[in-house]
């Protein structure tokens, strides 16, 4: 399993008049966590894109457990539990400063050839790195 922890400060612009982080902002938070998770293994999503792989999101599921508040320093745990093939699933758990789990979600991303726009297998540059986290699979 691959796991990465990212810290993120809640901004004023993220909140709504209920005083909570607006529900529609979590996809953006997940992107931030996911891109830093990928970067932590020595790859950037930009590099994958430059080399001809697009990764559109095809599904997102979110469970809102408790609110996040302005100025909290959230920790987003990003993890991948299965070696990807044509799809990679990222799981997220968001913790507040009291270490309470306040939100969890998942995004499914497809690997798409930028030229043909067809789904393809994950590129070797990513698979080689990923395999090191799934030695017993």
List of residues contacting a second copy (CB under 8 A): 9, 11-13, 15-20, 22-28, 30-32, 35-36, 44-46, 54, 56-64, 67, 70-71, 107
Residue 60 or 83: which CB sits closer to a second copy? 60
**Minimum CB separation from a second copy for residue 56, in Å?**
7
Dihedral of alpha carbons 116, 119, 121, 127, sign: positive
In three-state form (DSSP H/G/I as H, E/B as E, the rest C), the secondary structure along the chain is: CEEEEEEEECCHHHECCCCEECHHHHHHHHHHHHHHHHHHCCCCHHHHHHCCEECCEEEEEEEECCCCECCCEEEEEEEECCCCCCEEEEEEEEECCCCCEEEEEEEEEECEECCCCCECCCCHHHHHHHHCCCCCC
Nearer to a second copy, 13 or 124 (CB): 13
Question: Smallest gap, in angstroms, from Cβ of residue 20 to a second copy?
Answer: 7
Please say which residue, 14 or 84, places its beta carbon nearer to a second copy.
Answer: 14
Residue closer to a second copy by CB (options 48, 122) is 48
Q: How far is the CB of 137 from a second copy (least distance, A)?
A: 27
Residue 54 Cβ vs a second copy, minimum distance, rounded to whole Å: 6
């Amino acid at each position: 399993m691959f796991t990465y922890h990212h810290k993120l400060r809640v901004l004023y612009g993220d909140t709504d008049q209920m005083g909570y982080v607006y529900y529609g902002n979590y996809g953006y938070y997940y992107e931030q966590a996911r891109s830093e998770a990928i970067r932590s293994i020595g790859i950037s999503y930009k590099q994958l894109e430059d080399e001809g792989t697009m990764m559109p999101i095809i599904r997102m599921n979110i469970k809102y457990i408790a609110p996040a508040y302005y100025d909290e320093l959230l920790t987003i745990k990003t993890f991948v539990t299965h070696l990807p093939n044509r799809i990679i699933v990222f799981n997220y758990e968001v913790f507040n400063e009291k270490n309470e789990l306040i939100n969890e979600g998942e995004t499914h991303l497809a690997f798409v050839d930028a030229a043909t726009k067809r789904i393809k297998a994950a590129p070797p540059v990513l698979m080689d790195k990923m395999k090191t986290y799934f030695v017993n699979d």
